[in-house]
Amino acid sequence: MPNSFSRISNIVILLALCSVNSAFADHEHMSNELEVFLAAEAYHGSGHVHAADDDSWVSADVVFGLTQHQFRVFGELYVTPSERDLERLQFGFEFVPETVLWIGRFHQPASAWNTEHHHGHYLQTAITRPFIERWEDEQGLIPQHITGALLESRRPIGEDGAIQISGGAGAGSSLTHETMTPIDLIGDNPGRHRLSLTGRIAYLPEYVGTSSFGVLYGHDQISTGSPFVLSALNSRHAILSVYGVYGDWNSEPWRIIAANYYVDVALDPTARNESFISGYLQLERQLPNDLTVFGRVEDSARMQESKYVALFDDRNGDIDTALRRQALGLRWDYVKRQALTIELSHVVSLNRRSDEVRIQWSAVVP
């Protein structure tokens, strides 16, 4: 594992020295960029029982890429003291303007939150992400990474607007003890990774604006060989069908982000199928002196009745699955490309409640 990571890291560094740019870069013959997102956080929760919950942690998210004519290379390396993960590595071809076909590992497009904020903490106003949007290795309920093909296209509509279409297909996550595991590009892959199909159709009021409204769809075939999961679900397979709607409205000084997901869980014939609903609403307001106040409400229905959801509830004393959460916070962008944020929240999980406080420093360089 260390040797494998070292080789990949060298490749990443070489690419990073040449590059990064997003899927829809300026149409130059060649462009490149490198950004590193840094964060340090301390938090405490009254409903947690481990001392580790009081410890601070740091993370670095390196985003890199290359654009040359119609060809694209894009990647993201996420590093913490306990984790090194090549979150994305994509090779793309823009065969018509604003339409790119990618091959590699990518974030599935049917997430209202992660396709905008990714892993860089500086990119999101709040410290936390909604529980329904958590990554697989953080007890997420919905697979968030696919290894396969991704098509992204943006087409003008009307005088100023656009329709954005994204669709991904490939190998999704396997289900192990209390967690889902996507294909790891720099580590082992012991599980069986089956088909994942996801997509979004969004309307953009302004072609180059940040506001969008759309529908989301995901279909994930998940297998498991874990005795614990087999006993809990009475099933070797789980087919997730995800239907969602979202809106991201940004008109300074206000921003509203909202999403609602209906998740159907189809199990083997010997087990009973399940479904649950989870959604959130986040409101942000810019204030004088580079301050931004924000609040978020998360709620759900039937999650407490789901055997599938119960799989991801941490039995070690941490809260990894929540039925409801109310959060309030303040962000201060005290210098260019650096911010300090405090967030207070009340969380109701499957079996406990917690009052939490988090403080975070985040930045992006250069």
Q: Which residues pair with 64 in a beta bridge?
A: 34, 75
pLDDT tens for each residue of 20-45 = 333 333 333 457 889 999 999 998 88
Each residue's pLDDT tens digit, 330-365: 999 999 999 999 999 999 998 889 999 999 999 999
Instruction: Classify residue 122 by its DSSP letter.
Output: G
pLDDT tens sequence across 44-65? 888 664 444 345 589 999 999 9
Which of 295, 204, 206 has the alpha carbon at shortest distance from 246? Answer: 204
Dist CA 272 CA 188 (whole Å): 33
Note if the bond before 227 is cis, omega within 30 degrees.
no
Q: Residue 364: which residues within 8 A CB-CB, separation 6 or more? A: 35, 36, 37, 38, 120, 122, 337
What domains lie within the chain, and their CATH numbers? Answer: 2-365 (2.40.160.10)
Give pLDDT, residue 337.
96
Contact 244, 263 (CB under 8 A): no
Q: How far is Cα 1 from Cα 83, in angstroms, rounded to an integer? A: 12
Amino acid 48: pLDDT: 62
Cross-strand pairs, 98: none
Q: For residue 159, what are the contacts with CB-CB under 8 A and spacing of at least 6?
A: none
Quick: pLDDT tens for 80-89: 888 889 999 9
- Written as six digits, the tokens of 305 are 């009745």
Residue 114 parent element (H or E) = helix 114-117
CA–CA distance, 286 with 117 (Å, rounded to integer): 18
Helix, coil or strand: residue 118: coil
pLDDT of 9 > 50? The answer is no
In percent, the amount of the chain with pLDDT more than 70 equals 87
Q: Give the pLDDT score at 179.
A: 80
Q: Assign 205 to helix, strand or coil.
A: coil
Provide the residue type at 94 as one letter.
E
Q: Convert the pLDDT of each residue in 153-200 to its tens digit.
A: 999 998 899 999 999 999 999 987 768 889 999 878 877 899 999 999
* Whole-structure pTM value: 0.88
Element (H, E) at 146: strand 145-157
Where is pLDDT greater, at 211 or 178? Answer: 211
98 φ/ψ sector (left φ>0, alpha ψ -120 to 50, else beta): left
